[in-house]
Structure 1
């Protein structure tokens, strides 16, 4: 029986995908997200979102819609479910920024983000001379919790989740299973035992955990980073 810690409370369906006869699952929310009330008259040709939380903040503000660029299939799906037109989605912020740099140099963008958002995307775009304004629409708070037991596997869904867990705990010999490359890069600060899901979804992180190593590479579910 392997001890597994998820740094996010899973849904019933996600929990069922982790066989209870093979894994002892512990769950907690490593971060807390709070939407911010905003009032802005800023406009642009396009909007950029790198998370569903940013979309939630935008929708709460009831701002005028624009065609969107986003990171992740779940963010794209959430935007479309809420009536937003998605022009382009990418696996990570750097890939999206490079696409915009190459194809949309003469347009303007509003980037809806959180207080702990990484700087790759705005750095790439502003360095390229692309008009970009940033609006903070949510705040992420780290939830510090100490665990006495050791885990064989750790499931991470954001760089902030990694930082939150590691503020009170050591990864030890556990393998970190990460939702994307930016989360994996953060985990590599604390351990060399890191794997990253091919697609940035919670379901793919669970596949990463439950599919044997010898099958994972062949099926393309993950890349090992160590």
Structure 2
């Protein structure tokens, strides 16, 4: 059985666990980051023509603090984010083709006649790409609802031994923060050593660039920036496992 190390936040691991176990893999939780809620003060949805949600987590934390109109126009980055919004009764949700900041920017400019001079609330983590901010054709205001901080997983010793013994077959990084958190746990030298053997998987081009900037190879970047995309690529690599 192939061992796959998942570095995403602890509470988000369960849904990924089921996906990988269904295909006969052994997913191992190794949360290198955690989320801390940022209180929202004075948010008024009438100030904005559209809301942009970059993750399911951003939606959850936002809706814990704001009673948003179900008819509000929303752009969701990712099919899971969109599905969660629809399940919560939102009626006007659209999705860019590419699930990234670059994909979102392209989507807005491809439909610029509809979005020109509109005001957007970008609801996400405090950290993230600034590619959408300071645009001349439309206004985007950052509305941070949580911040990402480094986390020390409970199973560091166990995972370190598995990495040293080459018993981890793949490591999945779902954001630049999860990779930076990995370095925070092990240090850069050990990170480079530990990631020589397993397949290094990056969800998204931004995550890929962050990993490569530290001199580490990236083996897999799925066409669709999702865990399902990673899973499909691993199945292709391991079709004879």
TM-score relative to the length of structure 1? 0.80
- Aligned mates of 1:167, 1:27 — CA distance in 2: 16
- In proportion to residue count, which structure has more helix? 2
Aligned twin of 1:6: 6
- Aligned mates of 1:75, 1:183 — CA distance in 2: 19
Cα deviation code 1:188-212 (max 9, x no counterpart): 2231233112222222222222222
- Which of 36, 45, 49 is matched with 2:53 structurally? 49
Residues 82-161 of structure 1 aligned to structure 2 (within 5 Å): 82-84=88-90, 85-91=92-98, 92-102=100-110, 103=112, 104-122=115-133, 126-145=134-153, 146=156, 147-150=160-163, 151-161=168-178
Q: 1:116 to 1:2 in 2, by over 3 A?
A: same
Q: Report the Cα offset of residue 149 of structure 1.
A: 3.0
Q: What stretches of structure 2 of length at least 5 have no aligned partner?
A: none
- In proportion to residue count, which structure has more strand? 1
Aligned residues: 209
Residue 64, structure 1, aligned to residue 68, structure 2: yes
Q: 1:18 to 1:213 in 2, by over 3 A?
A: closer
Aligned twin of 1:29: 31
Instruction: Check the 8 A contact 2:96/2:107 in 1, yes or no.
Output: no
Cα deviation code 1:126-162 (max 9, x no counterpart): 2324122211111212113542332331112222111
Q: What stretches of structure 1 of length at least 5 have no aligned partner?
A: 216-226
TM-score relative to the length of structure 2? 0.76
Instruction: Check the 8 A contact 1:111/1:135 in 2, yes or no.
Output: yes
